[in-house]
Amino acid sequence: MRTRSKGRSCAGKRRYEGEPSADKAIRELVAAKRVTPGSMHSYQCRFCDGWHIGHTRHGGRRPQ
């Protein structure tokens, strides 16, 4: 079976075991100043059932 990316899969993305792992990865990125706080979020993947991190949509902070 080929693993060619068709754009809608998560191929090539880093996968995390669960939400805590993904959130921890985000915190590390923030701590390393790779991303700004609030600009990334974790989400469960519908393709691989793992967790990924991605950029939040509305360009920055959300009230919480």
Residues within window 10-49 making contact with Zn ion, judged by CB under 5 A? 10, 45, 47-48
Q: Which helix (H) or strand (E) holds 40?
A: strand 40-44
CA 30/CA 12 separation, integer angstroms: 21
Q: Is 63 helix (H, G, I), strand (E, B) or coil?
A: coil
Q: In the 8-state DSSP scheme, what is residue 1?
A: -
**Of the listed pieces 6-14, 18-26, 35-43, 54-62, which binds Zn ion according to CB under 5 A?**
6-14
Return the range that interacts with Zn ion (CB under 5 A); candidates 8-16, 17-25, 26-34, 35-43. Answer: 8-16
Interface with Zn ion (CB under 5 A): 10, 45, 47-48
